[in-house]
Amino acid sequence: MTTVHVDWDDDAHQIIRYVFQPRWDWDDFFAAVSEARALMDSAPGNVGVIFDASDAPNINVPPNALTNFRNALNRSHEKNKLMVVVLNSAFARILIASVQKLGGERAHLLQFAATVDDARQVIRDHLNGAD
């Protein structure tokens, strides 16, 4: 079983949602990134992404997280206009905040939300206001 699942979160194909299991790994993450890129290739317009680890308060963060997250962020699909992270782990939140600060030119696309519903609303608002 894969430890990172990715699929459309909405019928309009504007939001992709990654769902992380507590013990996920980089192989599954990068396989999900490839799947998400294929979904974005077929999307009718711009897309927002939800990284959902809300059901995994004790989520495992594999080694080399800062480097791998930063690389994934900087190589994100051109249709990807916003990434919203939903998680309950304080350590993972600090790590993602570090990626925001050190992530390079696309780091501004990374935000936090308290719930998946909040993340959906943030993305909808962003995409509806985007040019």
What are the residue boundaries of the structural domains of the chain, listed by start?
4-129
**104 vs 121: which has the higher pLDDT:** 121
According to the CATH classification, is domain 4-129 in 1.10.287?
Answer: no
Q: What is the pTM of this model?
A: 0.90
DSSP state of 105: G
pLDDT value, residue 43: 96
Please check whether residue 55 is in contact with residue 86, taking contact to mean a CB–CB distance below 8 angstroms.
Answer: no
Please check whether residue 50 is in contact with residue 18, taking contact to mean a CB–CB distance below 8 angstroms.
Answer: yes
Q: Choose among 47, 60, 126, 59: nearest CA to 88.
A: 59
Q: Choose among 110, 74, 80: nearest CA to 95.
A: 110
**Out of 11-15, 30-34, 111-115, 123-127, least confident range:** 111-115
Q: Given a cut of 50, is residue 98 above it in pLDDT? A: yes
Q: Given the DSSP bridges, would you call strands 15-20 and 4-8 parallel, antiparallel or unpaired?
A: antiparallel
Q: Given a cut of 80, is residue 93 above it in pLDDT? A: no
**24 vs 98: which has the higher pLDDT:** 24
Q: How many helices (H) and strands (E) does the chain have?
A: 4, 5
The mean per-residue pLDDT over the stretch 91-110 comes to 76
Q: Provide the sign of the torsion angle of the four alpha carbons 40, 42, 46, 50, taken in this order.
A: negative
Q: Given a cut of 70, is residue 105 above it in pLDDT? A: yes
DSSP state of 77: -
User: 26 by DSSP, 3-state: which?
Assistant: helix
Burial degree of 90 (CB within 10 A; 0-12, 13-18, 19+): exposed
Q: Considering the chain, what percentage of its residues have pLDDT values greater than 90?
A: 56
Distance CA 16, CA 43 (A): 10
